[in-house]
Each structure stands twice: as C-alpha cells, then as structure tokens.
Structure 1
Amino acid sequence: MNILDKIIAHKKQEVAQLMKEVSLEKLVKSPNFNRTPISLKQALTAKNSTRIIAEYKRQSPSKGIINDKVSIIEVTQGYLEANVAAQSILTDTQFFGGSILDIMQARTVNEITPILRKDFIVDGFQIVEAKAIGADAILLIAACLTKQELKNYGKLAEDLGLDVLYEVHSQEDLDKIELDNKIIGVNNRNLKTFEVDLEHSIKLASQIPDSCIKVSESGLTDPRVITGLKEFGFQGFLIGENFMKTENPGYACQEFISQIR
C-alpha cells in the first residue's frame, strides 16, 4: 500500500466517524456558513497579484516535522504582509499535523485573502465543513477520486460558493476532469512515492486549455523557476515547505516574492 492509499483509507474512516458526531445541520448553522467566500480565481488573476499561494504545513509523511514552533496566527500575518495571493492550510491531522481549527484561527486575522482548505476530500460532508469553518476554496485530488466524484464534489463546492483547485499529477488524472474554466493544479510531487519532479508542470501545461487557470504545486524553491513557469502559462504557484522550514515563514515568503521578476 503506497502513502496515498494509506492516507485515503484512514481519511474514509475518520470522516465516517466525524459524520456520526457532527450533523450537517450543525455545520449549516455555524457563523461562517453565511459569509461570502473570497474568489481564489480572482485573487490569482488580479492585475497586481503576486500569484503565490503560501501554505501552512507543520509536517508531512515524507519530511516528518517541518515546523511545529510557529503559530498559524503569526504565519498568517506574515503571509499577509508578504502580499500573498492566497493562503493554503492543511487540515489533515494524522499525516500533516493540521486541524480545522487552523483555518478558523487564520480567518480571525485574515479577512481579505482567500483560504484554501488543503485536505484529502473523500466525501461531500468535508466540503460543507470547509464552508462552515471559513474556507474559500477546496482541493480535489484527481488521483484519489473517480470522474463522477470529481464532477459531483466540484458542483457541490460551486453551489456553496467555494472555488475548487483540481489537483493532477498525470495525463490520466487530467482526463478525469471536465476541463473548462477550472483551476488546475499540477502537483510536481508524486503522492504515491512523494518524489518531486518539476518537469510534471511543464509536461502537462500544454494539455490544459487556456480557459483554465494553471497552478504549479510543490518543489518550488527558486524564484527564477516561477519566472520560467510563467512562460508555460502558469498563473499560480503553491509553496509551503520552502517557507515553513524557516524560523520566520512570513519573512521567507516576503523575500521570495521580492525576487520574482
């Protein structure tokens, strides 16, 4: 069983248990459920956008602890000062050390920038939950969902006013998605082996229609690479570990953005 299979198996159990404890009605009645989400699409395509989606990630299955010293509040404030286009927050507890509380806390200091809930969505319940905790967008990973699930979950998110980042790693993943006006994230990290190869972004770029917003994810450590990927039509860049492995992720993010040409 590869890492992704392990994560998905655990996530399905976790969500099944959660659904016994929390009702949909309770989620719908939460204060954040009535707020109007901030558009991730607009944030990435705005004229002066930095196009950086900066991530908060304490740990990962491949690297172990990355940074468990800095709080979500201080990192969020640092990212906002760096003028990020959006913020990504991992809410998986078992493998990434995150929590839905991270988004709820970030939302108390971030009212202007979209927050992407980064998790392994295996049920529509999690999408309703994302809206209830104050997220503006969700991640749908093509590698662990069927074509029909991608369509259904995407529609549910849309109905709730949430944007969707559809994550792909291969042509096979891409073929599962109805490619029209979507935000498509090409993950340079193979979720089955956790190896990183930037060629994935370049290889798949030409297969993604211009009506889509292309986002490159993982392994982006050099501002010059961002400049290069823009040549291939990428309009968004999701970066986490590169900032989080430093003592001050906000400052590292600011320095990185200042070097993008």
Structure 2
Amino acid sequence: MTILDKIVARKKTEVAEAKARVTIQQLEEYPLFSRICYSLKESIEHPQRTGIIAEYKRASPSKGIINGKSTVQEVVQGYQSAGASAISVLTDQDFFQGSLADLTAAREVLQLPLLRKEFIIDKYQIAEAKAFGADIILLIAACLTPAEVESLSIYAKSIGLNVLLEVHNEEELQRSIFNSIDAIGVNNRNLKDFSVSLDHSYDLVNKIPNRFIKVSESGISDPHTIRDLKKRGFQSFLIGENFMKTVDPGEAMKNFVGELKN
C-alpha cells in the first residue's frame, strides 16, 4: 500500500464515524455554513497580492513534525499581512496532525479565501468544510474517479465553495476536467513516494485550459522558481513547508515576498 492508499482507507472510517456523530442536515445549521465565500479567482488576480497560497502544516508523513510550536492564528495572520492570495490549512489528524478546529481558528482572523486541505472522498467532507469556515475545497484526482470528481465538484459549487482540482500527470488531468472546477493545481510531489520534481508543473502548464486558474503546488522554495513558473503561465503557487520549517513562518513569507518583488 502507498501512503495515499493508507490515507484514503483511514478517511473511509473517519467519514463514517463523523456521519454517526453529526448529520449533513446538522452541519447545514452551523453559523459558518451560510456565509458567502471569498472568490479564489478574484483574490489570485488582485494586483496587491502575490498569487501565493500559503499553507499551515504541522507535520507530514514524509517529514514527521515540521513545526509543532507556531499557532494557526499567528501563522495565517502573518501570511495574510505578507501578501498571501489564499490560505491552506491541513485538517487531516492522523498523518498531518491537523483538525477542523484549525480551519475555524484560521477563519476567525482571515479576510482571504481559505482552503480545507484534505483527502476528500465523500460529499460529507465538503459540507464539513463549509460548516467550519472554508471557501475552497481540494479534490485529488489520484484518489477519485472522474464521476466522483464531477459529482463532488458540482455539490461544492452548489453550496458556494471554490474547487481546486489537484493532478500529477496528463492522464489525471485529461480525465478530470469539468466546468464545475475553478482551479487546477499540479502537485510536484508524488503522493505515492513523496519525491518532488518541478518537471510535473513544466510538463502540464500548457495542457491546462486557460479558463482555469493554474496552480503549482509543493517543492517551491525560491523566488526565482515563482518568476519562472509565472513566465510559463502559472498564476498561483502553493507553499507550505518552506515557511513552516522556520521559527516564524509569517516572517519567512514576508522575506520571501520581499525577494520576489526585487
């Protein structure tokens, strides 16, 4: 079994347990469920922002603990003031040490689109994302069929969420393009063995239709890389570990953006 297989197997159990505790109908009554979501496209295209989707991530399966000290709120506020276009918060508990409480904590202090970074396999998790304060959900092509990508993205749009589709190769891209998607992210990290290569982004950028926001994800640690990715057609860049591995992730992003502007 790959790490992805293990995570998906665990999600099936998690979702069943969550449904037994709280129904979708109950989630729809949560105060945050009725809020109007921020637009990812508008935020990415805003001239004062950087295109960076900055991520709060305590741990990962490949690295273990990345940052166990910095709180969600201090980090995401730092990201926001450094010019982030959106914020990503990992909510997986077992593999990334995240939680839905982290999502709500981030929502309380942000005026930016917020992504629930999660391995979504069920409509229930999308309702949860809305109820806990997300504006964007992630659908990972590697763990969903085309029919699932379509039905889950249509449901997400029906409750006002933005949809980011993540792909790793051309085959996943071609089978997963639907009009109910807002952005397509190319993950430079192979989810089967966690190796990283920017070639994934370079190979796919021109194969993604221009009507989608194009996002390069993972393995970005240098402002020069962003300049290069922008030249090639990417508008957005998901960066987490590069900032989170420092003592002050918000300050690390501020310095990174300073270099990017020079």
Identity of aligned residues (%): 53
Residue in 1 aligned with 2:79? 79
Contact preservation (8 Å) 2:150, 2:178: no
CA distance in 2, matches of 1:240, 1:61: 14
- Report the aligned-residue RMSD: 1.0
1:86-109 Cα shifts (integer Å, max 9, x gaps): 100000000000000001111111
One-letter amino acid of the structure 1 residue matched with residue 100 of structure 2 = I
Residue in 2 aligned with 1:248? 248
1:205-246 Cα shifts (integer Å, max 9, x gaps): 111111111000000000000000001110000000000000
1:114-169 Cα shifts (integer Å, max 9, x gaps): 10000000100000110000100000000000000000000011011100110000
Residue in 2 aligned with 1:139? 138
CA distance in 2, matches of 1:45, 1:109: 22
Where do residues 63-212 of structure 1 align in structure 2 (5 Å cutoff)? 63-110=63-110, 112-178=111-177, 180=179, 182-212=182-212
Find the residue that maps to 2:232 and give its secondary structure.
coil
Find the residue that maps to 1:175 and give its secondary structure.
helix
Find the residue that maps to 2:95 and give its secondary structure.
coil
Structure 1 residue 46 displacement after superposition = 2.0
1:155-202 Cα shifts (integer Å, max 9, x gaps): 011011100110000111102222556300000000000000001000
1:218 paired with 2:238, answer no
Structure 1 residue 77 displacement after superposition = 1.4
Where do residues 42-53 of structure 1 align in structure 2 (5 Å cutoff)? 42-53=42-53
1:24 paired with 2:15, answer no
One-letter amino acid of the structure 1 residue matched with residue 176 of structure 2 = I
Find the residue that maps to 1:32 and give its secondary structure.
helix
One-letter amino acid of the structure 2 residue matched with residue 219 of structure 1 = G
CA distance in 1, matches of 2:116, 2:63: 21
Find the residue that maps to 2:152 and give its secondary structure.
helix
Give TM-score scaled by structure 1 length: 0.97
CA distance in 2, matches of 1:153, 1:227: 33
Find the residue that maps to 2:214 and give its secondary structure.
strand
Unaligned runs of 5+ in 2: none
Unaligned runs of 5+ in 1: none
CA distance in 1, matches of 2:18, 2:33: 18
Find the residue that maps to 1:88 and give its secondary structure.
strand
Give TM-score scaled by structure 2 length: 0.97
Structure 1 residue 49 displacement after superposition = 2.4
